[in-house]
Structure 1
Amino acid sequence: MKRFPERRKQFWAKLVTTVWKSGRIWITASAVTGCLIGLRMGGVLQTWELGTVDHFFRLRPTEAPDDRIVIIGMEEEDIQQFGWPLSDTQLASLLQAIRAAQPRAVGVDFYRDIPVGSGNSALLSAYQAMPNLVGIEQLKDREGSGVAASPKLKRLGQVGFNNVVYDSDRKIRRSLLYWTANGKRYQSFSLKLALLYLAAEGIQPRPGRQNPRYLQLNHAVFPQLTPNDGVYNQTDAGGYQIFANYRGAAGQFKTFSVRQMLNGEVSPDQLRDRIVLIGSVATSLKDFSATPYTKLKVGSSGLMAGVEIQANFISQILSAALDGRPLFRNWSETGEWLWIWVWAVAGTTLSWKLRSPARTALFILLASVGLISLCYGAFLVGWIIPVVPSFLALTGSTVVIIGYIAHTEEELKRSKEFLHRVINSIPDPVFVKDKQHRWIVLNEAYSRFLGKPVDELVEKSDYDIFPAHEADIFWQQDELVFQSEHELEHEEHFTSVDGRTYLIATKRSLHKDAAGNRFLVGVIRDITHRKIVENELRRTTIELSRSNAELRLSQDRLSYLANHDALTGLPNRNLLYERLSQCLNWAKGNGQLVAILFLDLDGFKQINDTLGHSVGDLLLQAVARRLSGCLRTSDMIARLGGDEFVVLLPSVPDLDNATTVAEKILYTLSQAFAISGQTLRVSSSIGIGLYPTHADDLETLMQKADEAMYQAKKSGKNRYIIGAMTAEETVDA
């Protein structure tokens, strides 16, 4: 039981040592991760992270056009022909032409808060006749004071806001589904049109299955963006925002010009049962914005028209609800932090193992490719995982470790020079090893003791010099010191180069320099002569101990022979009297009863004379075994000689207990014995003496029991008589 606390202590000591040894990895990784998380939360990395997501968008294969959406675009030629803005008459004619094609929903991405030119009544009639028409309004936000919707469409409830959310670089990477202002909830232009289309499919908006605050359309749940989701940090997440999942760069939707529509050049089949968006695509109208696909600065090429951005928003909703196209999601903040920390640990661990700038650089390259590939693969299936902070964690932790290794190697060089000067002044053989168990410093005394020059030993290990069995022991003892960090001394064999084997005592201890490099220092003493003397003394001590043991065995044997019967192995008269004397003294002090039963075998003499002494001896041995089986372990059976036996009952509660034992003996001995192929029968006469009832001393008690036994024989044998009992009180078996 004492070993368990020691084992537990060893376990905790080993655990603490392991944690301490690997602390440089965890501490470095955690420090780098903490710094990067701080920078990330401060928004320092956001521009890079947004740029990485844009790059993933541009790398992603372009998706097939969504033929559920058609754009009627106001081009430069349309402006030249019809002027800008379109008059109410022209817009009414355009709507009537579109209505004739029976689209499922129509969206007008023009502000129309006041009449333009003539034909306002015709336009209002067109609004009234098209319940699937949705106009736009711009709600007041930080970008402006807003633009009102068409009063007619407002009354009909056919208006959606077209506000967009710009990031700090003026790119649109998020879309709005809802906006709450003045206690009223507004639907976005894109969502309103998408819901009109989905209604025909029997799909209605409902609360999310796991989070009722989220919008669910069919099986698609639209997670609402929070200020720190994905690549964003402390961003304005007002309203119901989601990550925008564009289908590709500009030009991903089928587009016709206004003049083509008004001139009847567009087949009704190309609009039927689709969402038709009417908006500006002319560059002069400047309704363009940057998206993830915009490579250059805002104001240059690569921008996307506002109506096409709305088309992408609508397509994202339809594709998620009808096609199962993934919506962008992200991990929790804790999950992202853990991801960054994992890459920091990878950088610290592998750079520490490699310990080579060239190999480490190759590792960073391969690991970076792996990291980017993992994040890009996740992006393809709808997950936005931090790339920039993970990459910085990988490279940053590697740079820290490489710098630390360079520092430790410089300190190691200085430490070697210092140790070399110190240990050469010591007369005993001394060696210094690094954690790879290689000699880094040796003194001249060690070189002479081993019989090999120092230059041939440095940077070598025990396995390069010594026999394998000795090298195994040296390695194990060195490792014990490295693991426990405690000074240890161990005796071991040491074979020199010329083949001589010494018995040595090596004291090993661990030392560190300023950079944390650990060295194992060993000092050797030759104890060969001392061990020879100790072995001689030990051999003499063992021989003396053996002689003493044999003497004790002889004494024990003589004592046994003196106190036991040679034939039956039972206690003899000497041991009986000694034990009886002890029992009487104990009984006298404790007021207890002691009983003795004096036995003599009936008919034994005749068997002995007739069948011989050898049979008689076997019979006596059998009787001894039966008597032993009748008694308690505390009772004693002794042979006085011949066929006389005495049973000692050390403590009996009353006389009845003694007579019960006597009856058991009479019955047991009356059973036939099988001796040497013959069936023999004997019985027993028993005399019972009870202390202090019949006598209060040993001799008198034995005499009373003996007299009672003879009285039992005279009374007919095979019975017991209690001491001082009359002839009428005898008991037959």
Structure 2
Amino acid sequence: MIKEFAPWQEIWNRVKTTLRQTARVWIPASAIAGSVIGLRTTGIIQPWELSYVDSFFQARPAEPVDDRIVIVGIREAELQQHGWPLSDRTLAGLLTKIESAKPRAIGLDIYRDHTVREGNAELERAFQTMPNLIGIQKMPDPESPGVAASPTLKKLGQVGFNNVIFDPDRKIRRAVLYWFENRQKFRSFSMMLALRYLENQGIREEGAPHDAKILKLGQAIFPRFQQNDGVYVNADDGGYQIIANFRGGAGHFRTVMMQDVLDGKVPAEQLRDRIVLIGSLAPSLKDFSATPFSGGFTRTPIEVAGVEIQANFISEILNVALGQRRLLKSWSEPVEYIWIWTWALIGTSVCWRLRSPQRSFLAVVLLGGGLTGICYGLFLAGWIVPFVPAAITLVTSATVVIAAIAHSQEELKRSKEFLSRVINSIPDPVFVKDAEHRWVVLNEAYSKLLGKPLEELIEKSDYEIFPEHEADVFHQQDELVFRYKNELEHEEEFTSTNGVTYHIATKRSLHKDAAGNLFLVGVIRDITQRKTIEEELRRTTEELYQSNVELRLSQDRLNYIANHDALTGLPNRILLYERIKQAIEMTKASNQITALLFLDLDGFKQINDTLGHAIGDLLLQAVARRLSGCLRTSDTVARLGGDEFVVLLPAIPDILTVTQIARKILSRLSQAFAISGQTLLVTTSIGIAIFPEHADDLELLIEKADEAMYHAKRSGKNQFSIADRIPVENHD
């Protein structure tokens, strides 16, 4: 029996011997990997992981424009021309123009939960006659109560939600395809449009997700995002989400301007058989969000319009469903743990073999480059792997081994020299402080920025070099890192010995050497130019805002003067005609009538001639006030000149109501006026014309009312007459 198991005993002995011989490699590697994995599960390093995924997006070769999607952008110029929100008539005209080009689907990325000015009937007709039109709604979520959909589009089932999921840094990296609420399933705006497009390829939803069901489009499977997938830790996985594989940032889709579409300047071929998205590109509407292509270490943060984000979602769904691109995927957690542990083993084994801080540093740099290349290559192939945890284990394991070697050889001085050479290879100023807040290592870039030789700075503190107020800030920030042992980045002022003050951003982190000594490492970036530019932009923005305010006030004043009577403040002939046109259009769309009352004061000329024009002007102003007090806010009182006034009554149910208003006006104006200590009496004659009974256009309606007024005046004054109606009705 013993002989039978002797080979296995020998194998086990060899394994134990190997484990003992390699303990200095696998024990620290396992401890470091376990620590990093544990740290990762807390979500502390998630921001770094997200940042590096963003950098891979930004480094990826530029992708061609997706010719299947066209954005009809609404820019600031269109807002100034048409106003916001766009009127129903403008929007109806835009949709009609686009539909005439025969696109495969139209996405209206504009909320339309209520009527906006004129043209509602035209817009409703457009909604009801465009089965390929998809509108939006916002589902209630923790950040907002939501926005309702267009009632018409909702009834037709042509609405998708446009909610997005923000990561903790307020960037959008995931797309929500379905939303579940009260056992109901809602499709997203992007999914609705993609499905409309895919119908022509014969691709439809299979296993339409509800709860745990998996979405399938054609041969493509869309796995549902889970809270710990990829670089995420305990993320919100509500609804049915996928990781968004953005094509690019702002301006990555073919875009035409709304006004060009309205003016017929966009060839129909550019829109035909495509998905056309209508949405805002105007900064003033603030419909912009950050994506993986926003920001970065070397680029200015650029946010992306909401309509472009929806275009990215649509493009990804189409590409995956048509087999033109893969979804971004991640490994299972056990595989990720093995990956992180492997890099810890690599770091410890290489550094133990080299046993030289200098060569170990070079090896770590090369290994870090290899790790970056592998992760980037896997990203291009559609895999998101843990780069940051692997890099942390690589660097940390190498650092631990190097520190252990230095400690065992009691070469603290050599360790400092090594650290000095490392930070001198960094172009940014770097400093290392001990627990007493004194510099122990500095690089040449720091010396150059400060304007002092290194030998005059070593073992000195901030208070010996900087002004007291700056030294206080540096000491407080350092103390926070020592106390809480967290990495900290802070912006501050830095005055060199030459008296030059810089704006700097300092990233501080805490490190411990092999002997257990704590060191604070700070890396400085000069952001003076950026701050100067930001200040100039702020001042320019304030100046432009003030100029715009003054321009709007001047324009509003000119518009008021052009459309109102200078004496009474009532609308003049220009504004009256415009409101008559609007009232006529409203009447055509309803079962009501519009009445026009033409008024001429009786006896005004005698008062004007005997008491003077000043008294006459005051009387006209008093008449204007009384007339305005007789009417609804929706009615219009206008002065045409002299003692002639016109009253416009839109949306009146019947002519009986008109005559009641006319009697009210006769009664009010026949009451005495107290003007400059004098009691004046005037009456008025009124002519009434009804649209459409007496006239079917503006000019004829005014003419009929004028004739009726003269008929009332000839018949005895202080009464009203209705066009084409005899006898005249006397005022009691």
TM-score where L is the length of structure 2 = 0.54
Assess, with a 3 A threshold, how the Cα gap between structure 1 residues 388 and 301 changes in structure 2: closer, same or farther.
Answer: closer
Match of 2:376 in 1: 376
Cα distance, 1:36–1:165 mapped onto 2, change above 3 Å:
same
Q: Partners in 2 of 1:2 and 1:99 — Cα distance?
A: 88
C-alpha distance after superposition, 1:108-134 (max 9, x if no partner): 000000000111111111011000100
Evaluate the alpha carbon distance shift between residue 184 and residue 300 of structure 1 in structure 2; reply closer, same or farther with a 3 A threshold: farther
- Post-superposition shift, 1:307? 0.4
Give the structure 2 partner of residue 427 of structure 1.
Answer: none
Cα 1:80–1:208, aligned 2, differ >3 Å: closer, same or farther? closer
The match for 2:183 is 183
Task: Give the equivalent residue in structure 2 for 1:156.
Answer: 156
1:4, distance to aligned residue in structure 2 (A): 5.9
C-alpha distance after superposition, 1:141-173 (max 9, x if no partner): 112000000000000000000001111111111
Matched, 1:116 2:116: yes
Which residue does the alignment assign to 1:146?
Answer: 146
- Give distance in 1, aligned partners of 2:233 and 2:152: 41
Query: What residue is the counterpart of 1:270 in the other structure?
Result: 270
* SS of corresponding position for 1:225: coil
For 1:111, what is the secondary structure of its paired residue? coil
Q: d(CA) in 2 for partners of 1:72 and 1:301?
A: 24
| CA–CA distance in structure 2, aligned partners of residues 400 and 304 of structure 1 | 43
Contact kept in structure 1, 2:245 and 2:327, CA below 8 Å: yes
Contact 1:375 1:385 in 2 (8 A): yes
Shift, 1:26, TM fit:
1.6
The question of 1:194 aligning with 2:194 is answered yes
When normalised by structure 1's length, the TM-score is 0.54
Task: Name 1:320's counterpart in structure 2.
Answer: 320
Which residue pairs with 1:309 in the alignment? Answer: 309
Q: CA deviation at 1:10?
A: 4.5
Q: Is the 8 A contact 2:178 2:187 kept in 1?
A: yes
Q: Cα 1:83–1:300, aligned 2, differ >3 Å: closer, same or farther?
A: farther
Tell me, in whole angstroms, the C-alpha distance in 1 between the residues paired with 2:58 and 2:248: 8
Give a deviation string over 1:240-271, Cα, whole Å, max 9, x none.
11111111121111111111111011111110
The answer to whether the aligner puts 1:229 opposite 2:200 as a matched pair is no
> 1:182-233: per-residue Cα shift (whole Å, max 9, x none)?
2111000000000000011100111399x98221112221111111110110
Paired position in structure 2 for 1:393: 393
Does 2:354 correspond to 1:347? no
Equivalent residue of 1:173, what SS?
strand
Mark the CA change 1:300 to 1:86 in structure 2 (over 3 Å): closer, same or farther. Answer: farther
Runs of 5+ consecutive residues of structure 2 not aligned to the other structure = 412-514, 516-732
Q: Distance in 1 between matches of 2:35 and 2:279?
A: 47
Partner of 2:57: 57
The residue type equivalent to 2:227 in the other structure is P
Shift of 1:8: 5.4
- In structure 2, the CA distance between the partners of 1:405 and 1:183, relative to structure 1 (3 Å rule), is same
Q: The residue matched to 2:67 in structure 1 has which SS?
A: coil
- Residue 166 of structure 2 aligns to a residue whose secondary structure is coil
1:699 aligned partner: none
Question: 1:10–1:86: structure 2 CA closer, same or farther, 3 Å change rule?
Answer: closer
Larger radius of gyration: 1
CA contact (8 A) 1:220 1:320 kept: yes
- How far the C-alpha of 1:312 sits from its partner, in A, is 0.6
Give SS of 2:177's match: strand
Output the amino acid matched with 2:198: L
Cα pair distance change 1:282/1:62, threshold 3 Å: same
Structure 1 position 76 matched with structure 2 position 76? yes
Q: Aligned runs of 1:688-703 on 2, under 5 Å?
A: none
**1:490 matched residue in structure 2:** none
Query: Distance in 2 between the 1:169 and 1:286 partners?
Result: 18
Structure 1: tracts of 5 or more residues without a match: 412-514, 516-733
For residues 198-213 of structure 1, what are the structure 2 equivalents within 5 Å? 198-207=198-207, 213=213
Q: Which residue does 2:279 correspond to in 1?
A: 279
2:614 is matched with which residue? Answer: none
The alignment of Structure 1 onto Structure 2 pairs a total of residues equal to 410
Q: Which amino acid aligns with 2:386?
A: P
* Superposed displacement of residue 320, structure 1: 1.2
Indicate if the aligned counterparts of 2:106 and 2:193 stay in contact, CA closer than 8 A.
Answer: yes
Deviation at 1:178, TM superposition (A): 0.3
Deviations 1:556-579 (A, max 9, x none): xxxxxxxxxxxxxxxxxxxxxxxx
* Structure 2 counterpart of 1:195, one-letter code: L
Compared CA separation, residues 149 and 4, structure 1 to 2 (3 A)? closer
Distance in 1 between the 2:5 and 2:100 partners? 91
Distance 1:38 1:186 in 2: 37
Match runs of 1:596-635 below 5 Å: none
Q: CA RMSD in A?
A: 2.2
- 2:55–2:296 Cα contact (<8 Å) kept: no
Q: Classify the secondary structure of the residue corresponding to 2:179.
A: strand
1:28 and 2:31 aligned: no
Between the aligned residues of both structures, percent identity stands at 53
SS state of the match for residue 140, structure 1?
Answer: coil
Contact 2:206 2:216 in 1 (8 A): yes
Cα–Cα, structure 1 residues 280 and 2, in superposed 2: closer, same or farther, change >3 Å?
closer
Q: Which residue of 2 aligns with 1:48?
A: 48
Q: Is the 8 A contact 2:220 2:323 kept in 1?
A: no
| SS of aligned partner of 2:276 | strand
Q: Residue 29 of structure 1 contacts residue 341 of structure 1 at CA under 8 Å; is this kept in 2? A: yes
In structure 2, the partner of 1:359 is 359
Q: 2:111 is aligned with what amino acid?
A: Y
Partner of residue 94, structure 1: 94
Match of 1:133 in 2: 133
